[in-house]
């Protein structure tokens, strides 16, 4: 055992990408990690230019780096121009000045220790310039409608937030080497970070034009005074969670007040505060004890649009699109007839249409909502919309699918045929071969229509049978959609010679809220039945699937299902792969950080409803485990802590079941670093080949 661990440790640094991929080779993880990733498209105020972010991979440094590009949409056959070179100055979050002269962004100038708001003229070869480099890290920002002020999110200690204190002086008479941290409430840790006492607070600053080409910011003023919460929310919140009114006199933001119940509360509210700080923030949505988010003011300033859930404590409830009359305080739901959960919101220039994204029958599509009637129209075809920007008569969006990483497209605001604007990975894609895919449906648990898809192996030949990778998605309120995923990409298995089958079982998103709700309290019930019926349907429909040479793989809830399958449906599987899965649902109820999740899914706390936590607990079925299993777990995973994976591996070893354990000291619930991703895929594919070999 020790020699195996030592060998693995010695091998890790040796993982390298192919120097020059050969012409037309099967797609694999080395292609995956080197793909350029486009995101955050931003149309200029006149709609004639487009700024966007591209992440490239520095494999030697084991990280991705972001640059900012500009595309002239008015010029025929225009080529993208790099505004911010990641090799010189990494930059992210491009935002236009109201006059269209500048693109503001987040970056770190050479020699600077913190990320700042910078800007660059929207033209080729322009030099980025800082806006007074502050000694504190800027999380995100938003410009005012007139471009004279900017909102900043900064992590500070609440007791001295007005003084912008981002560090706390050491306690006297203890010494500098004491490492203990004392907590009196949760979150003690969240996602992948231990709490240090700081909160993300919202500030506003004025921009003074001191001289041509130079801009200086005055001292930031605290707008979120008295707010015990993070703006935007952690760990994934962004500038969509706060906004200026059209006249710039009011700022809206959403926040969850922490107190002592933050880890089991989903009660976000939307607040309004004068931009000059003359009055404290005022709660506009206190009547709703569930999640209110993403404020978007109407062009006339009289209405505030936002997203709202209805059920407190449920993170996967449907997000409805709401309209708040700011004069009367009355609210109405714009889209009560639309059984989808809306994503981010953008208002059309006319103010008559709201644009949003939502999961929809295996896709994530772009939709238009008529403000007056609430009528919803889907604007985009098959694929995964990963960001969009709405102009006066055109919308630009990023979209991927199962055979293509995201590129940028332009479409008429009313829909129609899209125009492809970029082909970022054309050269790389020309050198790889991928498997074709097909969606299918079948009668699942309780006779419900359930959707899945298959991906054929690369170089598929009719009449042959192929080993199968059976992928199980996480969430559990999520879906395996028509997207080019950078962690669970079916093409990496197809390139290795496997067919892929996946099922969007009860609990998946994009098929109506009742279908999403159905998994809560039933983790090992209808979802397992769907997986069994889906597997049988796939075997019947696709003769090339070799049911005698198949392995099941999953992460997060999918990892839970792998542990559950091990004791409740082990027969078809030659092997299993579990990534960051829940092994003990009872301990998960105490050890995870976002406690609202386990409480909702099990209809109460572990001491209130212990029988619910034990009903579908994989821990109780270890005696029935038989299949060889690879267990993978990140050491910085605080959502499903490392001990869950270690306990499962202990059970496997104790029972003498062939098993391996792969851990990453520097990864959280996901595997994000390029070299770690290569090691992950190489280890997983080697495990699959070992147990599915003829």
Annotated catalytic residues are 556, 637, 669
Please give the Cα distance from 114 to 90 (Å, whole number). Answer: 12
Q: Judge whether 63 and 676 are in contact, CB under 8 Å.
A: no
The secondary structure of residue 224, as a DSSP letter, is S
- What count of Cα atoms within 13 Å lies in the side-chain half-sphere of residue 287? 5
Scanning the structure block, which residue is given the tokens 């267990």? 631
Q: Which residues contact 327 (CB under 8 A, 6 or more apart)?
A: 302
Beta bridge partners of 43: 50
Sign of CA dihedral 426, 473, 576, 10: positive
Phi, psi of 118 (to 5 degrees): -120, 175
CA 217 remoteness from chain centre: 32
Cβ partners under 8 Å of residue 455, min gap 6 = 402, 435, 436, 437, 490, 491, 493, 494, 499, 500
For residues 112 and 134, is the Cβ–Cβ distance under 8 A? no
- Cross-strand pairs, 256: 268
The total number of residues shown for the chain amounts to: 694
Sequence-distant (6+) residues with CB within 8 A of 689 are 496
End-to-end CA distance of the chain: 28
Where would I find the H helices in 446-601? 490-494, 513-517, 526-541, 557-568, 585-591, 595-601
Tell me the three-class secondary structure of 632-682, residue by residue: EEECCCCCCCHHHHHHHHHHHHHCCCCEEEEEECCCCCCCCCHHHHHHHHH
Distance CA 436, CA 126 (A): 43
Rounded to an integer, what distance in angstroms lies between the CA atom of residue 567 and that of residue 397? 44
What is the 8-class DSSP label of residue 327? T
d(CA 589, CA 566): 21
**What CA–CA distance (Å, rounded) separates 574 from 77?**
53
Peptide bond into 480 cis (omega under 30): no
Nearby residues of 369 by Cβ (< 8 Å), 6 or more positions away: 321, 334, 335, 338, 353, 354, 355, 356, 375, 376
Please state the φ and ψ torsions of residue 680, each to the nearest 5 degrees: -55, -55
CA angle 315, 402, 40 (to 5 degrees): 60
Q: Are 471 and 558 in contact (CB under 8 A)?
A: yes
Whether the Cβ atoms of residue 414 and residue 395 lie closer than 8 Å to each other: no
Instruction: Round to whole Å and give the CA distance between 274 and 295.
Output: 15
Neighbours of 540 (CB within 10 A): 11
Asked if 37 contacts 69 with a C-beta cutoff of 8 angstroms, the reply is no
Which neighbouring-strand residues pair with 143? 150
For the chain, how are helix, strand and coil distributed in percent, rounded to 5? Answer: 20, 35, 45
């Amino acid at each position: 055992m020790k020699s195996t661990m030592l060998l693995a440790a010695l091998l890790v640094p040796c993982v390298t990408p192919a120097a020059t991929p050969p012409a037309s080779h099967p797609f694999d993880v080395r292609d995956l990690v080197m793909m350029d990733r486009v995101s955050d498209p931003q149309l200029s105020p006149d709609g004639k230019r487009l700024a966007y972010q591209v992440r490239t991979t520095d494999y030697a440094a084991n990280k991705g780096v972001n640059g900012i590009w500009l595309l002239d949409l008015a010029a025929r056959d225009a080529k993208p121009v790099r505004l911010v070179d990641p090799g010189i100055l990494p930059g992210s979050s491009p935002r236009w000045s109201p006059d269209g002269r500048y693109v503001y962004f987040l970056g770190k100038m050479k020699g600077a220790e913190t990320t700042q708001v910078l800007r660059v003229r929207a033209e080729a070869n322009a030099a980025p310039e800082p806006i007074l480099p502050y000694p504190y890290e800027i999380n995100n920002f938003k410009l005012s409608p007139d471009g004279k002020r900017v909102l900043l999110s900064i992590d500070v200690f609440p007791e001295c937030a007005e003084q912008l204190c981002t560090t706390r002086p050491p306690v006297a008479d203890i010494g500098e080497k004491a490492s203990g941290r004392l907590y009196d409430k949760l979150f003690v840790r969240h996602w992948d970070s231990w709490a240090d006492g700081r909160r993300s607070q919202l500030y506003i600053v004025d921009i003074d034009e001191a001289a041509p080409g130079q801009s200086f910011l005055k001292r930031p003023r605290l707008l979120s005074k008295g707010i015990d919460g993070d703006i935007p929310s952690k760990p994934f919140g962004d500038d969509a969670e706060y906004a200026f009114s059209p006249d710039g006199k009011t700022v809206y933001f959403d926040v969850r007040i922490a107190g002592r119940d933050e880890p089991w509360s989903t009660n976000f509210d939307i607040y309004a505060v004068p931009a000059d700080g003359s009055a404290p923030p005022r709660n506009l949505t206190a009547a709703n004890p569930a999640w209110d988010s993403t404020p978007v003011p109407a062009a006339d300033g009289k209405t505030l649009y936002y997203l709202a859930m209805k059920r407190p404590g449920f993170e996967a409830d449907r997000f409805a699109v709401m309209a708040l009359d700011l004069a009367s305080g009355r609210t109405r739901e714009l889209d009560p007839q639309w059984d989808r959960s809306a994503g981010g919101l953008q208002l059309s220039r006319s103010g008559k249409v709201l644009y949003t994204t939502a999961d929809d029958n295996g896709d994530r599509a772009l939709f238009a909502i008529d403000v007056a009637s609430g009528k919803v129209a889907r604007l985009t075809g098959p694929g995964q919309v990963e960001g969009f920007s709405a102009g006066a008569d055109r919308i630009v969006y990023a979209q991927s699918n199962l055979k293509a990483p995201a590129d940028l497209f332009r479409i008429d605001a009313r829909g129609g045929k899209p125009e492809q604007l970029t082909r970022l990975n054309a050269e790389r894609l020309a050198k790889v071969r991928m498997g074709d895919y097909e969606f299918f449906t079948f009668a699942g648990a309780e006779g419900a229509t359930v959707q899945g898809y298959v991906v054929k192996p690369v170089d598929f030949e009719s009449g042959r049978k192929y080993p199968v990778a059976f992928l199980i998605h996480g969430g559990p309120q999520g879906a395996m959609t028509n997207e080019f995923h950078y962690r669970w990409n079916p093409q990496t298995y197809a390139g290795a010679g496997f067919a892929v089958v996946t099922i969007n079982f009860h609990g998946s998103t994009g098929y109506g809220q009742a279908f999403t709700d159905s998994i809560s309290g039933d983790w090992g019930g209808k979802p397992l039945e769907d997986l069994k019926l889906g597997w049988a349907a796939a075997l019947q429909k696709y003769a090339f699937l070799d049911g005698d040479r198949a392995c099941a793989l999953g992460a997060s809830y999918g990892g839970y299902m792998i542990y559950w399958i091990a004791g409740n449906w082990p027969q078809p599987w030659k092997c299993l792969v579990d990534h960051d899965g829940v092994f003990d649902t009872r301990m998960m109820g105490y050890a995870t950080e976002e406690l609202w999740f386990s409480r909702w899914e099990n209809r109460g706390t572990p001491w209130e409803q212990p029988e619910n936590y034990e009903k579908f607990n994989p821990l109780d079925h270890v005696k029935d485990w038989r299949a060889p299993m690879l267990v993978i777990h990140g050491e910085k995973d605080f959502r499903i802590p490392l001990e869950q994976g270690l306990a499962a591996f202990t059970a496997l070893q104790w029972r003498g079941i062939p098993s391996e354990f792969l851990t990453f000291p520097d990864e959280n619930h996901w595997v994000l670093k390029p070299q770690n991703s290569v090691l992950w895929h190489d280890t997983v594919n080697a495990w699959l080949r070992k147990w599915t070999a003829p």
